[in-house]
Amino acid sequence: MSAQEMALPKPTPIQIFETVQGYQRAFALKAAVELDLFTAIARGSHTAAEIAQACQASERGVRILSDSMVVMGFLTKAGNRYSLTPDPAFFLDRQSPAYLGHSLKFLLHPTHMARFEGLPGAVRRGGSSGEDATLSPEDPIWVEFARGMVPLIIPAAEAIAGILESELAARPSVKILDIAASHGIFGLTAAKRLPRAHVYALDWVNVLEVAQANARQMGMAERYHLLPGSAFEVDFGAGFDAVLITNFLHHFDPAENEKLLKKTHAALNPGGQVILLEFVPNEDRVSPPVPALFSLTMLGSTPRGDAYTLPEYAVACRNAGFNAPKLIPLEQMPQSLVVARKPV
Amino acid sequence: MSAQEMALPKPTPIQIFETVQGYQRAFALKAAVELDLFTAIARGSHTAAEIAQACQASERGVRILSDSMVVMGFLTKAGNRYSLTPDPAFFLDRQSPAYLGHSLKFLLHPTHMARFEGLPGAVRRGGSSGEDATLSPEDPIWVEFARGMVPLIIPAAEAIAGILESELAARPSVKILDIAASHGIFGLTAAKRLPRAHVYALDWVNVLEVAQANARQMGMAERYHLLPGSAFEVDFGAGFDAVLITNFLHHFDPAENEKLLKKTHAALNPGGQVILLEFVPNEDRVSPPVPALFSLTMLGSTPRGDAYTLPEYAVACRNAGFNAPKLIPLEQMPQSLVVARKPV
């Protein structure tokens, strides 16, 4: 063996093995949430025996599951006592207002997982096949999404509301269009800060029931208007001060997005803004990890969707008549805002 | 907000999100292997267009899949050119003698994955339910295992053969028992270095066909003897100098393992050794990551299996009549050897 060969680290299959076992980590986290392990620990159970009693599970099963949560960074272990790390204490304790346990149902939905088993076909064709795509009108998966994902998007909703508040608070009337409104929380969070704002929420009719229920619960039903149907087909109306397009454009190809941005442009008042919430990887497309990997999620689950870079959004915005967009990264979230203005 | 609150990092769902998406990473790696992406790059295709042509896939699909491999550390990217990192160059290029692509079929077998969907039940009961456990006699999954896992275990087989060679090379006759022989490579690698050794291979009858084919191919059929059936039921015979129990004891509970070690002890000559190949976590049970998480794999796929610590193996060995075992970590592998001697 030469000196050069000796200097090279020996190849090891460990990283391959860890990647392959990634599905077990995902299911372990889902199981811990389903069994309310994090809630039990937050309520004062710390040993496997105590947690097992609180979760009505076996001590052996809880010990192994809890150890796996320590390996993944969601718990710490001192002797035989488990404690929560900050993220699961905030997001996975059912008593927390930010509890996002329900969202795991959407993220690990069997429809999604089954589609990834067919990933080689999606790579060959360049996208997930049409017939089993997630995007069929009124797919019940979007209702689960609307219910489950709310806690995940609160920081983004607050950031968007902040932008709109600073811009529109002084106006006597405000019209906001919320495309792919889902749970409605983006538009509603803005409307809460802008008491004169009317929100027009667009989504599939069954999803809008969730949004409307939230509008009622937040006391904004009278300022909340429904536009049921496809964003590509429904008439938006006109005279909007802002249009929100959140977690939506990644489902489509650049031509479809340009079409939608042109339609958005037409519905906006001069000087109005379109605000996108998106996974925006760097131009290298391989960083940061979460936005970069979101491209794979779209390959596996949509016919032509992708995670687009800022220069790609800049082309689409320019072609649709907008000024150059600016990127606003969000603390605590893997997504960013992309904001573009219709020239006055 | 107090100074103390400001000092704390804000909670973020990013790690939860990344863990949940772990199944997509696993399927992405499997898809890359199935499409022979790594082989194409090893053979000189570097851009997405070149790789797509070599893999008969779409450029868009290959670009997204390759970017995901960069995020996971299996490729590098410079401009639009992809290159292999050392581990996939060694293990995932079909031209490499260490190609382990086939093992991904076993590791991501639908039987395994389906079982993990039922993990909450396994935690409640303390193990995977009996009726759908992997361990049914002559389950065809073990044939796939036997075929697919060979490249993964070569370093361990060489380490075991080294131990046996230094101990037994001078003997006029040598008898080795290879329990759960699978592909047979552990016993056969030892027999290659010990020309007078006879190997007795125990496994399900359909699996032994794979082992026997390997024995023939390696020119050792005459020194290779088959013991088809369950290790708990088949008569081992006697007079063995060494017994190999590789990747096996983790399927069972401590009582079953003690029973098997007693039977092993009875079959060994005084001074003979039992050599275990196992995932051995530290006593904290949460490090190193791969052996620690193997406990979860066993919870999800066996009724009572686990990843045992060295002190736990020490108890089992002592109760079976062995001297205290020693742990031999293996470079390049997540498993370790545990070696115990029958007193003279």
Q: Does the distance separating the beta carbons of A125 and B61 come in below 8 Å?
A: yes
Least confident of A121-135, A172-186, A278-292, B204-218: A121-135
Using CA atoms of B92, B97, B100, B106 in order, give the dihedral in degrees to the nearest 10: 150
Mean pLDDT of B267-277: 98
CA distance B122 to chain A (A): 7
| % of chain B residues with pLDDT over 70 | 95
Q: Does the distance separating the beta carbons of A34 and B68 come in below 8 Å?
A: no
pLDDT of A2 strictly over 80: no
pLDDT of A3 strictly over 50: no
CA distance B2 to chain A (A): 17
Q: What would the pLDDT profile of A298-324 be if each residue is shown by its tens digit?
A: 999 899 999 999 999 999 999 999 999
pLDDT for A1: 42
Buried b (16+ CB within 10 A) or exposed e, B156-191: bbebbbebbeebbeeeeebbbbbbbbbbbbbbbbbb
B179, β-bridge pairs: B202, B245
pLDDT of B150 strictly over 90: no
Is residue B16 a contact partner of residue A87, using CB atoms and an 8 Å limit? yes
Is residue A82 a contact partner of residue A55, using CB atoms and an 8 Å limit? no
Nearest CA in chain B to A9: B86
Q: Which residues in A lie closer than 8 A to residue B117 (C-beta atoms)?
A: 27, 110
B339, β-bridge pairs: B275, B326
Mean pLDDT of B5-15: 72
Residue B304 gets which letter from DSSP?
S
pLDDT of B275 strictly over 60: yes
From the candidates B71, B84, B99, B103, which should be mutated to test the interface with A, based on the most A CB atoms within 10 A?
A: B71
Nearest CA in chain A to B70: A286
Q: Which residues in A lie closer than 8 A to residue B306 (C-beta atoms)?
A: 64
Mean pLDDT of B15-22: 92
SS3 A232: coil
pLDDT for A102: 85
E strand or H helix at A78: strand A75-78
CA distance B304 to chain A (A): 9
Q: Does the distance separating the beta carbons of A20 and B297 come in below 8 Å?
A: no
Instruction: Give the separation between CA B221 and CA B216, rounded to whole angstroms.
Output: 5
From the candidates B5, B14, B19, which should be mutated to test the interface with A, based on the most A CB atoms within 10 A?
A: B19
Nearest CB partner across the interface for B58, out of A90, A126, A333: A126
CA distance A91 to chain B (A): 7
| % of chain B residues with pLDDT over 90 | 78
Mean pLDDT of chain A: 92
Phi, psi of A339 (to 5 degrees): -120, 125
B81 in A contact zone (CB under 8 Å): no
Is residue A72 a contact partner of residue A81, using CB atoms and an 8 Å limit? no
Residues 259 through 298 of chain A touching chain B, CB cutoff 8 Å:
284-287, 289-290, 292-293, 295-298
pLDDT of A55 strictly over 90: yes
Categorize the per-residue pLDDT at B104 as very low, low, confident or very high, splitting at 50, 70 and 90.
confident
Q: Determine the Cα angle at A237 with ends A280 and A326, to 5°.
A: 25
| Ranges assigned E (strand) in B69-189 | 75-78, 81-84, 174-179
pLDDT for B133: 47
Q: Determine the Cα angle at A163 with ends A157 and A167, to 5°.
A: 140
From the candidates B20, B47, B76, which should be mutated to test the interface with A, based on the most A CB atoms within 10 A?
A: B20
Nearest CA in chain A to B35: A120
pLDDT for A5: 46
Mean pLDDT of A274-278: 98
Q: Does the distance separating the beta carbons of B17 and A107 come in below 8 Å?
A: yes
Instruction: Give the separation between CA B106 and CA A72, rounded to whole angstroms.
Output: 24
Phi, psi of B292 (to 5 degrees): -65, -45
pTM: 0.90
Nearest CA in chain B to A91: B13
Categorize the per-residue pLDDT at B112 as very low, low, confident or very high, splitting at 50, 70 and 90.
confident
Categorize the per-residue pLDDT at B97 as very low, low, confident or very high, splitting at 50, 70 and 90.
confident
Nearest CB partner across the interface for A22, out of B23, B64, B89: B23
SS3 A182: coil
pLDDT of B27 strictly over 60: yes
The tokens of A317 are what? 């915005």
pLDDT for B7: 53
Q: Which residues in A lie closer than 8 A to residue B293 (C-beta atoms)?
A: 21, 24-25, 68, 71
Categorize the per-residue pLDDT at A8 as very low, low, confident or very high, splitting at 50, 70 and 90.
low
The tokens of B226 are what? 């088959």
Mean pLDDT of B73-80: 97
CA distance B61 to chain A (A): 4
Q: Determine the Cα angle at A250 with ends A247 and A255, to 5°.
A: 130
Q: Does the distance separating the beta carbons of A57 and B107 come in below 8 Å?
A: no
From the candidates A24, A58, A125, which should be mutated to test the interface with B, based on the most B CB atoms within 10 A?
A: A24
Compare B146 and B253 and report the one with higher pLDDT: B253
Residues 19 through 48 of chain A touching chain B, CB cutoff 8 Å:
19-31, 34-35
Q: Does the distance separating the beta carbons of A334 and B119 come in below 8 Å?
A: no
Instruction: Give the separation between CA A87 and CA A332, rounded to whole angstroms.
Output: 10
Edge to edge, the sheet with strand A197-203 lists A224-228, A197-203, A174-179, A240-246, A268-278, A336-341, A326-329
pLDDT for B5: 46
pLDDT for A166: 96
From the candidates B8, B25, B55, which should be mutated to test the interface with A, based on the most A CB atoms within 10 A?
A: B25
Instruction: Give the separation between CA B11 and CA A332, rounded to whole angstroms.
Output: 7
| Ranges assigned E (strand) in B194-335 | 197-203, 224-228, 240-246, 268-278, 326-329
Q: What would the pLDDT profile of A163-191 be if each residue is shown by its tens digit?
A: 999 999 999 999 999 999 999 999 999 99
Residue type, A324: A
Task: Say which residues have a Cβ less than 8 Å from residue B164's Cβ, sequence separation at least 6.
Answer: B174, B176, B190, B193, B194, B197, B242, B275
What spatial distance separates the first Cα and last Cα of chain A, rounded to whole Å?
71
B309 in A contact zone (CB under 8 Å): no
Q: Does the distance separating the beta carbons of A30 and B119 come in below 8 Å?
A: yes
Q: Which of B294, B280, B291, B286 is nearest to A77 (CA)?
A: B286
Q: Does the distance separating the beta carbons of B90 and A125 come in below 8 Å?
A: no
Mean pLDDT of chain B: 92
pLDDT for A138: 65
Q: Which of B228, B220, B174 is nearest to B201 (CA)?
A: B228
CA distance A227 to chain B (A): 31
Least confident of B127-136, B295-304, B325-334: B127-136
Phi, psi of B267 (to 5 degrees): -85, -15
Nearest CB partner across the interface for A123, out of B61, B286, B296: B61
pLDDT of B180 strictly over 80: yes
The single residue listed with the structure tokens 């608070």 is: A169
Q: What would the pLDDT profile of B46-58 be if each residue is shown by its tens digit?
A: 999 999 999 999 9
Q: Which residues in B lie closer than 8 A to residue A334 (C-beta atoms)?
A: 14, 17
Q: What would the pLDDT profile of A116-163 be if each residue is shown by its tens digit?
A: 888 999 999 999 875 554 556 567 777 777 777 788 888 899 999 999
Phi, psi of B320 (to 5 degrees): -90, 0
Q: Which of B174, B210, B207 is nearest to B192 (CA)?
A: B174
Q: Which of B134, B155, B156 is nearest to B276 (CA)?
A: B156
Instruction: Give the separation between CA B213 and CA B201, rounded to whole angstroms.
Output: 12
A327, β-bridge pairs: A338
CB atoms within 10 A of CB A34: 17
pLDDT for B144: 72
Is residue A171 a contact partner of residue A196, using CB atoms and an 8 Å limit? yes
Residue A246 gets which letter from DSSP?
E
The single residue listed with the structure tokens 């994090």 is: A38
Mean pLDDT of A236-241: 98
From the candidates B67, B75, B83, B112, which should be mutated to test the interface with A, based on the most A CB atoms within 10 A?
A: B67
B135 in A contact zone (CB under 8 Å): no
